[in-house]
Amino acid sequence: MNEQFKELLSPYTFKNGVELKNRVIMAPMTNFSSDEDGNVTDAEVEYYARRSKDVSMVITACTNVTANGKGFPGEFGGDSDEMIPSLERLAKGIKEQGAKAVLQIFHGGVQCPPDLVAGDVVSASEVKDENGKEKARALSEAEVEEIIEAFGETTRRAIEAGYDGVEIHGANGYLIHQFFSPMTNKREDRFGGSLEKRMAFPLAIVEKVKSVVEKHADPSFLVGYRFSPEEPEEEGFSMGDTLALVDTLADKDLDYLHVSLFDFFSTPRRGVEDTEKPRMEYLLETIGDRTPLIGVGSIYSAEDALKAFRTGVPLLALGRELIIDPDWVKKIEQGREDEIVTEIDKEKQKELVVPDPLWNAIINTPGWFPGV
C-alpha cells in the first residue's frame, strides 16, 4: 500500500468500542431485487457479499417499517416478524465476508407507489399532485405514534436477525424528511409548525430506536441517522435548518451521522452566510467531536477519496463506485490504485455480480453512473 493511503485504510473505533477495520463503508443503495413478497433473493445476497470483503461496514438498501411504507418495487421488507429469516440471510451474507452489517430502516411516505401500498399513501400532511388530486393523506397523530413504534419493532427484528446496527433514513424525501420539511409538513399539532416541532418526529424515532436497542441488544449495536443537507425549493428546508437538526442529533448519543450528498464537495444554496463554503465544512464544524460523520458523494478514484478524507471526515461511504469496481479497497491495499475502474463496463454485469433489476436501472438511466 502506498503511504498516502494508510490513514484511509486505518482502523476506526466508535465510542461504544466497535472497531471498523478501515474507513471505507458501502453506502446504502436501492437495488430493486427482492421478490414480490419482500424477501431477500439469492441475487441480492451475492451482490452484497461480492462487495463486503474489503470494506469495513455495509449499510443496506432501505427496508420499510410498515406495510404502507414500501417505497420501491423489489424492496426487501422489515415490517413483520415473518421477514426476520429474510433479513437474517442478508446480514449473514455480509458478515461472513468480514464487514459489519447495518440495516437501513425507513418509511417512504408520499414517495410510495400507490400499487405497492396496502391502503392509503400517507405523509406528514396532505399532498396534492399538479392537477389538485390527492397524492397522500395526512397521518393522524395516533398513526404517527404507530409509525414511531414500527421503527422500534423493525430495529428489534434487525437485532434478532443478527445485524450490527441500524441506520434511520431521514433523507432523500422520504417520510422522516417530509416531517422535517416545511414544504410537506403543514401540521398544527406537536409534530408540525416551528423548526423545533418539525424535528419532533425524527427525534421521537431516534429515542424509540435507542430504547429498543437498550432493551434487546448489547452496547455494541450501532445506531446511525442519515439526513439530506437541504431542499432545492425556496419553501423547503435550508442548510441552516439542517445544521440546527444536526446540532440536536449530535447530542443524542448516536453512533454516527451520515449525510446524503450526490457530490461530496457541493456548496449550500441558502440558510448560511457563506454559500461558497462546502456543506461538509459546515457539518464538521457543527458536529465537532460529538459523533462521527460519514461523508459521501461522487467519490470514484483513490485520489477523490484522499481529497475527501483530508477534509477531516472520519469515515467515507462509496455507493456507485463499489458497483463499478467491487475491488476498490483491495486495489488500494495492494498498491494498485491506478487500476481502479471509475466508469461502468456495460459488458461485465456477470463479473460485477449485479442483479438484473439494478443493472437495467443503471443502463437505462443516463447520467446516474459514469460511462452510461
Q: Is 164 in contact with 101 (CB distance < 8 Å)?
A: yes
DSSP code string of 192-218: SSSHHHHTHHHHHHHHHHHHHHHHHS-
Q: End-to-end distance of the chain based on CA atoms, in angstroms?
A: 31
Query: In the block, which residue shows the cell 446540532?
Result: 247
For cell 432493551, the residue is: 215
Which residues are CB-contacts of 322 (< 8 A; sequence separation ≥ 6)? 26, 27, 51, 55, 328
Rounded Cα–Cα distance for residues 150 and 284 (Å):
31
3 state SS of 315? strand
CA distance 233 to 298: 23
CB 349 within 8 A of CB 324: no
CA dist., res. 213 & res. 204, Å (int): 14
Q: Tell me how far apart the alpha carbons of residues 301 and 158 are, in angstroms, rounded to a whole number.
A: 33
**How far apart are alpha carbons 292 and 256 in whole angstroms?**
5
Residue 225 among the catalytic residues: no
Q: Which residues of 114-151 are buried (b: 16+ CB within 10 A; e: fewer)?
A: eebbeeebbbbbebeeeeeeebbbbbeeeebeebbbbb
Alpha helices in the chain (DSSP H): 42-50, 84-95, 141-160, 175-180, 195-198, 200-216, 239-249, 279-287, 302-309, 320-324, 328-333, 349-352, 356-363
Which one is catalytic: 174, 225, 256, 282?
Answer: 174
Q: Is 231 left (phi over 0), alpha (psi -120 to 50) or beta?
A: beta
- Burial, 331: exposed, middle or buried (Cβ in 10 Å; 0-12, 13-18, 19+)? middle
- Catalytic residue ranges: 174
